Structure 1
């Protein structure tokens, strides 16, 4: 961005901010834009994950057929797709100990002979919590300082994360999983850039797959974007994603517990809602209590036409976290 265009952008931003001061905060809140209140009570911190019960786990695990297990997680590598352009840390990986370096530095004080005998390798990594295959906690997005179930940043957010709804509160994720291969249903390897998946797209794909959704499902949408995972710039540029009405179909009409996709944002841009740049995150996390999984590797499931499976996974228990890496596994089930 040149100084001139930067100046123009800042001027427009300041003009918009000045204009907004003439409108009260109440008037700026669009109709219905309030956080959801949990049907599981005022202390609920996990939203629709309450649909996981002993009975629901037993029902899906009793149908596991054995055989192949599908790994739905991406690899982590330096330069991988990330939100770096939004100011978030990109994935970094470095060596903290190497076999030859320990001989030189003797960090444990055990001497050259021991270090030559016992080769020591150690590594470290750092990243934004929304990197690679991950799941969003319900505190990730809210409305006017409030998140799911009315918890408030002024009361519940400290310097080291939220003291409610942190990702560490999530139980192990064991549920019926359903793949909806929208790209495949359209005869495409990958949906076009910025394509917004509709309610009808989902219905058509489900009919083609002969699968019906059930309450408590973990529903994963394949756009085909994972084909570009090794090309970070292409992967991040104008990805296809879900439309708001399609998300409503999954949660309100079909009872989905968790939704996810193979892109990095679940939704696509620009937003279809004038006063919300991330309407699906607002709707799913803050209003419906439905976690979102992103960057799910779905191509192998689609190739083998595995549309129904036992989903097993769990996020890292990062106290107060708004998201965490996830290593999900799909186990095919009998009809």
Structure 2
């Protein structure tokens, strides 16, 4: 009898796990069936003005990284690396005379032109809501059969991402806990410890940036890409479901830690945020100067390139410290 009860308990537990695995479903937007920006709808003119009104200095922090040949990339997945080439040089223009104005003019007017080729998820960038989906759908139930053309998505493309102005919070986990081990998965307890040490609280609609310390190695691509720490699914759920965070970002390659914590999903944090909750995320931030100066609350101001239909876009975020005494 006892063995039978144990067997039934195992079956019930297995059923619970299976049921839990099936809980990953694309979210329907509370902002309506045509919504394409998810939680960025939390921004209003009033909320942006409130943040901007707390700026009392012109001190700024650039939170983006440089783009250069040899920079870290997702080449292991087959995505192209960053390429740069010159299309015009001062001497070449004299030789080629492309403008037809002759040697004298081209010697006087020095002309340099260049071009780049890159994956849209390189350097500091934001993931659009079409980047990852579940079971053939992306955020708000949009399907590729109806909305994905040869020139990109007709819904939730990077061109729909509005300029972002909100209260930003740095969670300097690497400073609070010390150097993080390889593949370390940041927990909600780690985040709460960090908040306590920094003496701040999170608010609904915040932009939360997580420092793992990985950006220290950005110029050394093999080191930067090597088994980096990242956030775990439980911690992300705590930020979204209990703290009401609008936007998340981190200083590592792809935000979450690997290997994945679910056997049935290789990017569970990405699909939870993008597909289930409509929360965009920023990757490959530079947070070292904020950390050095212990700037934990700031006006976060950023805008991405309006790449029509794209699944992501380069981002140039700026942090301006807030006067928190107001």
- TM-score w.r.t. length of structure 1: 0.90
Q: CA deviation at 1:192?
A: 1.5
Match of 1:281 in 2: 270
Q: Distance in 1 between matches of 2:58 and 2:147?
A: 45
Pick from 24, 29, 38 the counterpart of residue 38 of structure 1.
Answer: 29
- Does 2:237 align with 1:260? no
Corresponding residue of 1:137: 128
DSSP-derived class of the 2:21 partner: coil
Give 1:29 deviation, angstroms: 9.8
Structure 1: any 5+ residue segments left out of the alignment?
1-26
RMSD: 1.2
* Preserved CA contact (<8 Å) 1:103 1:112: yes
Residue number among 210, 215, 218 corresponding to 2:207 in the alignment: 218
Report the equivalent of 2:42.
Answer: 51
Shift of 1:201: 0.1
* Distance in 2 separating the partners of 1:123 and 1:226: 27
Unpaired runs of at least 5, structure 2:
1-17
Structure 1 residue 28: deviation in Å? 10
Render the CA deviation track for 1:254-310: whole Å, top value 9, x for unaligned: 011110100011001110011000000000000000001000100100110100000
User: 1:80 matched to which residue of 2?
Assistant: 71
Q: Which runs of 4+ in 1 moved over 2 A?
A: 27-30
Are residues 1:198 and 2:187 paired? yes
1:179 and 2:167 aligned: no
**Paired residue for 2:61?**
70
What is the distance in 1 between the residues matched to 2:136 and 2:56? 46
8 Å Cα contact 1:132/1:295 also seen in 2: yes
Q: Give the whole-Å Cα distance in 2 for the aligned partners of 1:208 and 1:230.
A: 30
| Residue 37 (structure 1) shift | 0.5
1:169: which partner in 2?
160
Structure 1 CA distance, aligned partners of 2:114 and 2:230? Answer: 35
Determine if contact 1:191/1:225 at 8 Å carries over to the other structure. no
CA–CA distance in 1 between the matches of 2:226 and 2:256? 13
Aligned to 1:317: 306
Q: 2:19, 2:228 → 1: CA distance?
A: 29
SS of the equivalent of 1:165 reads coil
Q: TM-score if structure 2 supplies the norm length? A: 0.93
Report the CA distance between 1:30 and its aligned residue: 3.1
What aligned pairs does 1:145-160 form with structure 2 within 5 A after superposition?
145-160=136-151
Inter-partner Cα distance in structure 2 for 1:144 and 1:96? 44
Q: Which residue in the other structure is 1:271 paired with? A: 260
Moved more, 286-295 or 28-37: 28-37
Q: Distance in 1 between matches of 2:27 and 2:185?
A: 25
- Determine helix, strand or coil for the equivalent of 1:80: coil
CA distance in 1, matches of 2:264, 2:96: 57
> Match for 1:111 among 98, 102, 113?
102
The alignment partner of 1:250 has SS state of helix
Q: Cα deviation per residue 1:77-117 (whole Å; 9 max; x = unaligned)?
A: 10000001110010001100000000000111111110000
Distance 1:28 1:79, change over 3 A: farther
Three-state SS of the structure 2 residue aligned to 1:36 is coil
